């Protein structure tokens, strides 16, 4: 008989850690089990090459819930978010630049189109209004439309009230946001193609969709969610990389009494009847607890960790239907010096490089990149979302050197013609990315000291993300809210009593947001309190 806890959290990613911190905060004896030697899951910083530290996978923070920062007092545990200022789209002999400084952005947009500059203001305000409208959904436990419980639908009643308070125009836009493609939605406002392409790009990040695929507009809205908590928090990178977020949450969890074990690989769940009683590590060690929370995705949790036969066939079929479809890769470069963009020749300032650099020159090129992926090929000219973290956090590299992070889309997990991701395919992906960068930074090859290329298969193997999907499951309309991850099981509960889900696999989904971990932990604590008050303290053991 092994150790006994109130709660076991599987996975030490930012959501698992957030859940653990909240569980510990409500007085539960909690342990986090992380397979790797370090915390963070995909929100992780590693010194990949001596002196060069990288946010290996996830690379920016925009959505981390402010209530988590507050509740867990994360700044006291070392969280510091540095602003990432603006987005530059390098083009042939020109560029498109938007920054946090409103006046400068307006001047820049006017250079492209007077009407776009005007529309940009109206658009921005409308999106903030919309984000304010949907924000309560992020903190909501999704109701089950198949078996509505009055208490679950109550918050939706609030939404109906909020809906009635919207103007007709806002309602119209809300429906469009939930149903349209990012590009078609934006084309209603804007005419500058690189602007539409660059703004559309935030609708497809991490999904297996194109900028013209219906259902991508709402992801634009997702990105305005950070905006309403203050412009500063809109986009940023944590000091020390995204691992900085995970470490701060981990520290907070420890301070609240949670135990955190790295190099502890859960081999399977321990199931008795319809109840999970603990976990078995791959070393044979067993840990027992009243509740087990999995921050892994649905496939890992239900099809790999759960002993076969413990779940209904109909449920595992549903899990089997859930779509992952990783679509992105990551290329991390260690650079000898700051790169020079050909669209900024002899530039005296480097301020354009302090934000995101978006390789999204036209809607057509974005869509062509998607066409490749649909047919099982890495994009010949991928969309790249690049940042140079050393511009705002020089501690990431030795003095004078730089690190460059390139998020690459599309790199489909499933390749056509029976090909599989191997060393050769990985090299090819790296070369394609560097070729694409070279079009805008002609001397890039001379600057590269080291490179790290992550394919979707690497993401699966390293971070346990099925099919390399960075959101633990495609963010398509039919896999959101009450359908995430399985219709009827969106409320963080699972068919196995005392097993809960707390990662990006459940509502409200992916991104360094922490919301699933927080809401799940609060639901668990509520349920345990209820159970104990019913059966007396320590009931159910």
Partner 1 sequence: MSASAGRFDVVVVGAGHNGLTCAALLGRAGLRVLVVERRERVGGAADTVEIAPGVRAPLAHGIGRMRGSVVRELELERHGLRFIRPNALATALHPGGRAVRFVRDPHRTADGLREWSAKDAEAWASFDRKVRALASVMAWLHAMTPPDLVAPSMADAVAALKLGSALRGLGGPSNLRETIRVLPTAVADFVEDHLDSDAVRTAVAVGGVRYTAMGPRAAGSTAVLLAELAGTTSGPAGESATAAGGPGALSEALAAAVRAAGGEVRCGTEVRRVTVAGDRASGVVLAGGEEVAAGAVVSGADPRRTLLDLIDPEVLGPSLGWRAGTIRVPGTVAKVHLALDGPPAFTAASDGEVEGRLLVNATGIDELDLAFDPSKYGRLPERPFLDVTVPTAADPTLAPEGTHVVSAMVQWVPFELRDGSWDDAASRDALADLVTTSLEEHAPGLAGHVVARHVVTPADLEREYGLTGGHPLHAEPGLDQFFAWRPALGMARYRLPVPGLYLCGSGAHPGGGITGAPGANAAREIQADLRRR
The overall longest dimension of the chain from CA atoms, in Å, is 74
The secondary structure element, H or E, covering residue 365 is helix 363-374
Taking the complex as a whole, how short is the minimal distance between the CB of residue 473 and partner 1, in angstroms? 13
User: Alpha-carbon distance 199 to 186, whole Å?
Assistant: 8
Contacts of 330 (CB under 8 A, 6+ apart): 56, 57, 59, 405, 406, 407, 408, 452, 453, 454, 459
Taking the complex as a whole, how short is the minimal distance between the CB of residue 375 and partner 1, in angstroms? 6
Report which of 156, 459, 146 is spatially closest to residue 318, judged by C-alpha positions. Answer: 146
Tokens of 110: 């006017």
Residue 521 in contact with residue 23, Cβ under 8 Å? yes
Minimum CB distance to partner 1 smaller for 29 or for 377: 377
Minimum CB distance to partner 1 smaller for 58 or for 209: 209
Tell me the pairing of strands 30-33 and 259-261.
Answer: parallel
In the complex, the residues that contact partner 1 under the rule CB under 8 A are: 144-147, 164, 168-169, 171-172, 175-176, 178-180, 184, 188, 209, 212-215, 321, 323, 364, 367, 371, 374-375, 476-478, 482-483, 487-488
Minimum CB distance to partner 1 smaller for 92 or for 364: 364
Report which of 511, 76, 390, 422 is spatially closest to residue 255, judged by C-alpha positions. Answer: 76
Minimum CB distance to partner 1 smaller for 65 or for 493: 493
Taking the complex as a whole, how short is the minimal distance between the CB of residue 480 and partner 1, in angstroms? 9
Strand segments, DSSP code E, in 205-318 are: 236-238, 259-261, 266-272, 275-281, 286-294
Minimum CB distance to partner 1 smaller for 20 or for 211: 211
Taking the complex as a whole, how short is the minimal distance between the CB of residue 176 and partner 1, in angstroms? 6
Taking the complex as a whole, how short is the minimal distance between the CB of residue 71 and partner 1, in angstroms? 33
Q: What share of the chain is helix, strand, coil (3-state, %, to 5)?
A: 40, 20, 40
Taking the complex as a whole, how short is the minimal distance between the CB of residue 106 and partner 1, in angstroms? 22
Taking the complex as a whole, how short is the minimal distance between the CB of residue 373 and partner 1, in angstroms? 11
Query: Is 284 strand, coil or helix?
Result: coil
User: Alpha-carbon distance 242 to 54, whole Å?
Assistant: 9
Taking the complex as a whole, how short is the minimal distance between the CB of residue 253 and partner 1, in angstroms? 35
508 prior amide bond cis, ω within 30: yes
User: Alpha-carbon distance 352 to 441, whole Å?
Assistant: 14
Minimum CB distance to partner 1 smaller for 302 or for 463: 302
Residue 270, phi then psi, degrees to nearest 5: -95, 120
Q: Which residues pair with 153 in a beta bridge?
A: none
Tokens of 392: 């705002």
Minimum CB distance to partner 1 smaller for 325 or for 426: 325
Minimum CB distance to partner 1 smaller for 178 or for 428: 178
Our CA dihedral for 439, 442, 448, 451, rounded to 10 degrees, sits at 0
Report which of 26, 509, 500, 492 is spatially closest to residue 253, judged by C-alpha positions. Answer: 26
Minimum CB distance to partner 1 smaller for 146 or for 309: 146
User: Alpha-carbon distance 222 to 234, whole Å?
Assistant: 11
Tokens of 502: 């707390």
Taking the complex as a whole, how short is the minimal distance between the CB of residue 42 and partner 1, in angstroms? 25
Minimum CB distance to partner 1 smaller for 54 or for 208: 208
> H/E/C letters for each residue in 353-418?
HHCEEEECCCHHHHHHHHHHHHCCCCCCCCEEEEECHHHCCHHHCCCCCEEEEEEEECCCCCCCCC
Minimum CB distance to partner 1 smaller for 116 or for 259: 116
Taking the complex as a whole, how short is the minimal distance between the CB of residue 478 and partner 1, in angstroms? 5
Taking the complex as a whole, how short is the minimal distance between the CB of residue 153 and partner 1, in angstroms? 11
Q: Which residues pair with 307 in a beta bridge?
A: none
Contacts of 76 (CB under 8 A, 6+ apart): none
Minimum CB distance to partner 1 smaller for 178 or for 303: 178
User: Alpha-carbon distance 270 to 265, whole Å?
Assistant: 14
Taking the complex as a whole, how short is the minimal distance between the CB of residue 455 and partner 1, in angstroms? 22
Minimum CB distance to partner 1 smaller for 151 or for 168: 168
User: Alpha-carbon distance 539 to 529, whole Å?
Assistant: 10
Taking the complex as a whole, how short is the minimal distance between the CB of residue 160 and partner 1, in angstroms? 9
Contacts of 207 (CB under 8 A, 6+ apart): 216, 219, 327, 471, 474, 475, 476
């Amino acid at each position: 008989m092994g150790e006994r806890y109130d709660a076991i959290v599987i996975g030490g990613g930012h959501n698992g850690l957030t859940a653990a911190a909240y569980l510990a905060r409500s007085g539960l004896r909690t342990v986090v089990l992380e397979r790797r030697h370090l915390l963070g899951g995909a929100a992780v910083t590693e010194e990949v090459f001596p002196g060069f530290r990288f946010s290996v996978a996830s690379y920016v923070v925009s959505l981390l819930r402010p209530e988590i920062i507050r509740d867990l007092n994360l700044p006291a545990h070392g969280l510091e978010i540095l602003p990432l200022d603006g987005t530059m789209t390098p083009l042939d002999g020109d560029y498109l630049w938007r920054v946090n400084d409103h006046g400068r952005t307006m001047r820049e947009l006017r250079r492209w189109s007077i009407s776009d500059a005007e529309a940009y203001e109206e658009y921005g305000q409308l999106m903030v209004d919309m984000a304010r409208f949907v924000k309560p959904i992020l903190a909501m436990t999704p109701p089950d439309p198949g078996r509505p419980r009055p208490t679950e639908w109550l918050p939706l009643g609030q939404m109906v009230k909020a809906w009635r308070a919207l103007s007709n125009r806002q309602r119209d836009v809300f429906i469009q946001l939930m149903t349209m493609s990012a590009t078609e939605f934006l084309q209603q406002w804007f005419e500058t193609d690189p602007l539409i392409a660059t703004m559309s790009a935030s609708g497809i990040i991490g999904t297996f969709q194109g900028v013209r695929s219906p259902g991508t507009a709402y992801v634009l809205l997702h990105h305005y969610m950070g905006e309403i908590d203050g412009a500063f928090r809109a986009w940023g990178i944590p000091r020390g990389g995204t691992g900085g977020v995970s470490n701060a949450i981990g520290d907070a969890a420890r301070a609240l009494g949670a135990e955190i074990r790295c190099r502890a690989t859960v081999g399977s769940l321990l199931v008795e009847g319809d109840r999970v009683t603990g976990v078995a590590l791959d070393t044979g060690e067993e840990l027992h607890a009243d509740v087990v929370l999995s921050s892994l995705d649905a496939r890992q949790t239900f099809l790999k960790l759960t002993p076969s036969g413990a779940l209904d066939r109909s449920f595992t079929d549903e899990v089997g239907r859930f779509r992952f479809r990783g679509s992105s890769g990551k290329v991390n470069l260690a650079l000898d010096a700051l790169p020079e963009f050909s669209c900024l020749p002899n530039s005296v300032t480097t301020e354009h490089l302090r934000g995101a650099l978006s390789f999204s020159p036209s809607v057509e090129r974005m869509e062509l990149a998607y066409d490749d992926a649909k047919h099982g090929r890495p994009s010949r000219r991928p969309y790249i979302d690049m940042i140079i973290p050393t511009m705002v956090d020089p501690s990431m590299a030795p003095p004078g050197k730089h690190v460059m992070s390139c998020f690459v889309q599309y790199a489909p997990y499933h390749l056509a013609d029976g090909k599989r991701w191997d060393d050769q395919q990985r090299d090819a992906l790296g070369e394609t990315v560097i070729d694409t960068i070279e079009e805008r930074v002609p001397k890039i090859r001379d600057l590269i000291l080291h490179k790290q290329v992550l394919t979707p298969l690497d993401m699966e193997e390293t971070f346990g993300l099925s099919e390399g999907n960075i959101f633990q499951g495609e963010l398509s309309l039919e896999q959101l809210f009450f359908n995430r991850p399985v219709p009827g099981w969106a409320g963080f509960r699972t068919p196995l009593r005392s097993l809960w889900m707390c990662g990006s696999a459940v509502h409200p989904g992916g991104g360094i947001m922490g919301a699933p971990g927080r809401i799940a932990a609060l639901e668990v604590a509520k349920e345990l309190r209820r159970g104990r008050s019913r059966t007396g303290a320590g009931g159910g053991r």
